[in-house]
A and B are shown apart, each in its own frame.
Chain A
Amino acid sequence: MSNTKNINDVSHSPSGVGGKLDFTITVYTENQVGLLNRIAIIFSRRKINIESLNVSPSEAEGIHRFTIVISETEDVVKKLCRQIEKQVEVLKAYHNTNDEIIWQEMALYKVPTDIIAEKVKVERLLHQHGARAVVIRKDYTIFETTGHREETEGLIKALEPYGLIEFVRSARVAIIKASNGFHEKLKEFEQTEPGEELVENEFLDKQDEVFTM
């Protein structure tokens, strides 16, 4: 019924194929039960799929770090970050494209040991992919690789003909190239009167496109 543009309607967006790009959102938060849900529903409410989500400690004590990957236009991602920062327990949300971060995902592969033992080819294959054996048992062996999506995916393809029993991949973890860490920022947050640093009033680009959230 509504005539306003849907947030997922990317036909009006300025960049890329449909304007959507992979963005990695890094969120620094307090450690609190329920916050994961608060952050997750910011995406689900707008029918945006989270492709990968990781929660871990950060370099600053007591501060948690969410790493969220979605495929969206920058305009939408900016708005999502502001909604995330609006949550009481969130200190800061950054968004970055793949070229602005160093990122890795880890994958585990379970393969039958007898086949590996027999086939020299498999051994070479694993070597090529930089895989490491984590467990070797009589019945199966578990390998691990770390890398980008294409790399972990490449090894699945290669292992499939040899009877891959099980595969699992972790969420992305990422470090922002330009970041100086969160220690200094955190000090500012702890002050009652924050400095200007904190409020990054990004000036608005001059795009005419308008989206509704």
Chain B
Amino acid sequence: METLEIIKDKETAIKEPVSISGSQAVLEAFIAEGVHTVFGYPGGAIMPIYDALYDYNDKLKHILVRHEQGAIHAAQGFARTSGKVGAVFATSGPGATNLVTGLADAMIDSTPIVCVTGQVFAHLLGTDAFQETDVINITTPVTKWNYQITDATEIPHVLAKAFYIARTGRPGPVLIDITKNAQIQKIDYEGYKKCEHIRSYRPKPIVRKEYVEEAAKLINEAKKPFVIFGQGVILGKAEREFKAFIEKGGLPAAWTVLGLSALPTDHPLNVGMLGMHGNYGPNVLTNECDVLIAIGMRFDDRVTGRLDKYAKQAKIIHLDIDPAEIDKNVKTAVPVWGDCKETLPLLTKLIDKKEHTDWLNKFHEFTKKETEIVINDELHPTGEQLTMGEVIQLLNELTNGDAVIVTDVGQHQMVACRYAKFNQSKSNITSGGLGTMGFGLPAAIGAKYGAPERTVVAIIGDGGFQMTIQELGTIMQFGAAVKILILNNQFLGMVRQWQELFNDKRYSFVDIQSPDFVQVAKGYHIAGSKVSKREELKTALATMLDHKESYLLEVMVSKENNVFPMVPQGCSVSEIRLQ
């Protein structure tokens, strides 16, 4: 069967309607939306779509994952490195429920995803049919929007809506559930029309000049202004506007884990990481600044610590595209609603050119102290065992900060975020809001498809790797050249750290055994090696990076190292502990 040549144009009106199946209409929509890669897994209720896919092989690359959770994490990784919408196919029932973790992750981290799930025939809905689950209701809390299609004539405009909703405003995951009869049904297809407006949906609030002016006034009067930024800068594609803003105002800027890489690591105004395992200065000085300028971030509790002792002395300016974020956790003095791509230049125009040298130096003093007490030992340890920090440090030297770093969740994630060097945006891919172990490997596969020209390094713990280890099969079959760097501390390290610090070292089920990872990789025809000695580390890392294909390097690190600094849960950011 021929596929229809109706790509590119925004409006692809066909003169004579053609008869196509609902399944074809789905694929035409994907292509018209610029989707070239789909991550998925077939099954009974989505078979008509997979049958149609057979003829679209040249236009739509389908990556067969090993578990649907892997499909959606891969789509997330793809979206985060490419800035485009990630696409997923899954079948009904277990296929769809396997997506839930990824949907929740994409929802909380504002990642644009469109999932299409198959569903049983419409006449079987509600009958407990084979592989029927109420996917719409299961996924409602974890999707920006979802919709069930039972009639194929709805497919073109509903998919247009799905892509529009997923990528505009504050992005998020959308799920479209299509009953099998609708996939088979023939429709008179008149071409694809992209969605540009939904009456009940306002992706961008209108920028109110008076608030921009008020914000500028506060910034101009400030003696100790402090910028904290999140992923909003990246999602808004506003990295340049952001840089211009902080540079004109001489504003020290610290990032959340999801904001990381929006500003190059070595930018003179980049003062480091916020939050529980963030840097010393940014945490302590949050409670000393006089004006706190929050940009595209949502005051997560891992960032704020104890709220009633958070930046109480400061006037808070909050720039965000999502009105529901304003005042949600922290009361704002000036809310600047809008897309930061628009609001930042307006603000930059109104602020005075300044250098807050003394104030910036204060951050440097804290860095000095943190370096003496924490960073030196982490990056240049004198003990025999390797630290996670020195591995990241060597990696920086070898990649020069040009790699995409994907992490899983745990100690290695915090260490990677703290020490990895970044020169360009969209380079740090991590599960920030949900903290999903098992995210790393599939997300790295997707990240590689999203940025094929870049080196992608997946830094993963020995625990988290075992949660989605089966995706090695996806790499084997489709060849994503992902570099897998396992930092093996032979523990569920982050939980062990908490048990050591807060539960009297009562190590309860954190002692996790691992298979021989190098042998496992070998079973999947992926090359690999294992190191535990300092003198072998650099060569091993270089071998991994130089290898043309995917490569697995397992590094044995110190078993009981802790990540510091740390703001213990329930403490104020200024009570951050260095040891």
Contacts and interface: CB of A to CB of B under 8 A. Distances in A.
A45 B142 CA distance: 12
B571 to A, nearest CB: 8
B338 to A, nearest CB: 9
A204 B199 contact: no
B559 to A, nearest CB: 26
Given A4-B306, A88-B198, A212-B329, A82 B570 contact: no
B200 A189 contact: yes
B400 interface: no
Nearest to B306: A3
A194 B199 CA distance: 10
Interface stretch (B202-210, B265-273, B282-290, B547-555): B202-210
Interface in A88-133: 88-91
A62 to B, nearest CB: 10
A88 B205 contact: no
Interface stretch (A18-26, A150-158, A169-177, A195-203): A195-203
Given A34-B140, A91-B199, A210-B308, A1 B569 contact: yes
Contacts of B570: 1-3
A37 B137 contact: yes
A48 to B, nearest CB: 15
B136 A210 contact: no
B487 to A, nearest CB: 27
A207 interface: yes
A89 B301 contact: no
A184 B465 CA distance: 56
B577 interface: no
Contacts of A88: 144-145, 165, 198, 200-201
B329 A86 contact: no
A79 interface: yes
A192 B197 contact: yes
Nearest to B197: A192
Interface in B73-111: none
Contacts of A41: 140-141
A100 B211 CA distance: 29
B301 A37 contact: no
B328 A213 contact: yes
Given A37-B137, A204-B331, A29 B337 contact: no
A90 B200 CA distance: 6
Contacts of B144: 88
B322 A86 contact: yes
Which interface class (under 10, 10 to 19, 20 to 34, 35 or more) fits A?
A: 35 or more
Contact of B301 (A4, A86, A91, A189): A4
Contact of A82 (B147, B200, B308, B323): B323
Contacts, number: 100
B145 A85 contact: no
B335 A201 contact: yes
B453 interface: no
Contacts of B306: 3-4
Contacts of B322: 86
A86 B200 contact: no
Contacts of A90: 200
Contacts of B1: none
A38 interface: yes
Given A88-B144, A194-B202, A194-B206, A82 B324 contact: yes
Contacts of B199: 30, 91, 186, 189-190
A5 to B, nearest CB: 7
Interface in B324-343: 324, 326-333, 335, 337
B196 interface: yes
B307 interface: yes
A198 B165 contact: no
Q: Which of B146, B148, B196, B327 has the most CB of A within 10 A?
A: B327
A95 B302 CA distance: 31
A208 interface: yes
Nearest to A81: B324
B200 A4 contact: no
Nearest to B331: A210
Contacts of B330: 210
Contact of A79 (B202, B211, B312, B327): B327
A192 B227 CA distance: 33
25 contacts: A2-B301, A2-B569, A3-B570, A4-B306, A34-B146, A34-B147, A79-B324, A79-B327, A79-B328, A82-B326, A85-B324, A86-B322, A88-B145, A88-B198, A90-B200, A91-B199, A189-B199, A196-B208, A199-B206, A199-B323, A201-B205, A204-B326, A204-B331, A210-B308, A210-B329
The 5 closest A-B pairs by CB, nearest first: A3-B570, A82-B324, A199-B206, A91-B200, A88-B145
Given A79-B327, A89-B200, A213-B328, 13 more contacts: A5-B308, A30-B199, A34-B136, A34-B137, A37-B137, A78-B327, A82-B324, A88-B165, A186-B199, A189-B200, A196-B208, A212-B307, A213-B329
